[in-house]
Structure 1
Amino acid sequence: MDEKKLIEQQIFNDTSAYQDIMDLPYSPSKRHLPMEQIDRAAQFAPFSALEGFSGLIKEKTKDYTRKKYSTVTEEKHITKQLNYLHTHHLRVDVNYFNEESGYYEHLKGYLQKIEPQKGRVTFDKTSIIIVNIRAIKLAQ
C-alpha cells in the first residue's frame, strides 16, 4: 500500500477518539420526533441536481472536438465579407459550426442583419454566431 493510502487510512479509519461512546446504546431524542425518511432524503436533494451533469459536459465536449477555431486572419476575412454583404444583396453559401448538432453545416441564403454587440449574424431566418463561421462563398 502506498504512503498516501496509509495516511488516509490512519486519518479516516482511526476511531480511537470515540471508543468511549462506540458501545453506548442508541437513545432517541426526547425533544424531537424522529425525522421521516422522505424528509431526511430531501436534505440531499440539492446535490441530486448535479447528477448527470458530468455526462452532459462530456457530450458537449465531444461535439466541440470537431470544431476548428479560426485564426485572427480568417476572422478578419470573414468580418470583411460580412461587411461587404451588408451593402451588397448577394446569395451566399455559409459553412458554419452548428452548436446544437456539433457538426459543420451549410446554409444558402441572404444576409439579413449583423449584430456585432451580440456577435451574431442572421441569414434568412437562421442566426449564427460570427466566430462559428468557417467560410462564406457565393451560392451557385
Structure 2
Amino acid sequence: MPLTPTHRYDDIIDRPHHRSSTRPHMPLRKRAAQFMPFAALSGYDAIIMETARQTQQRVELGDDERQVLDERLRHIVEHASDHPQVSVTFFMPDPRKDGGVYVTVGDTLRRIDTVHRLLILGNGQTIALQDIVDIHEIAANR
C-alpha cells in the first residue's frame, strides 16, 4: 500500500524514542560531529594554490647595468657612516619553488658587511649584495 501524505508515519509517530540500555546517550556536540563535512583531500586546495603561485626567474644584469650598480654601491659604501636613506631592489629567492620575486624596500642603511657581502638596513633586514639589481640613495641623514 503506497504511503499518502495523511498516512505517512502514522504507525510510529506516537511511539517513544528508543534509548539503548547498554550504551550511554551521546551528547549533542558529539552527535553533530558525525554530520560535519568530510574532506577526503585535506590540504589539496593549499597544494593547488601553491602550484598556481607565480614566481619570477632571476635576471642577470648586463655589463653596463652591473657597472652602474657597482658605482652606486661604491658611492653608498663611501657614505655608509652617514646612514643614508636608500631604496633597494633585490631578488628574493622563493624557499619552496624555483625562482623568486623582486622586492623594493626603502630604509636607512645601518651598515654594509663586506666580509659576508650583506647590506644591513635600519629595520634589521639583510640583503645579499649579489641579489641587488638596483639601489638609489634617497636622502642623507646629515
When the two structures are superposed, what TM-score results if normalisation uses the length of structure 1? 0.46
Query: Larger helix proportion, structure 1 or 2?
Result: 1
| Bigger-Rg structure (1/2) | 2
When the two structures are superposed, what TM-score results if normalisation uses the length of structure 2? 0.45
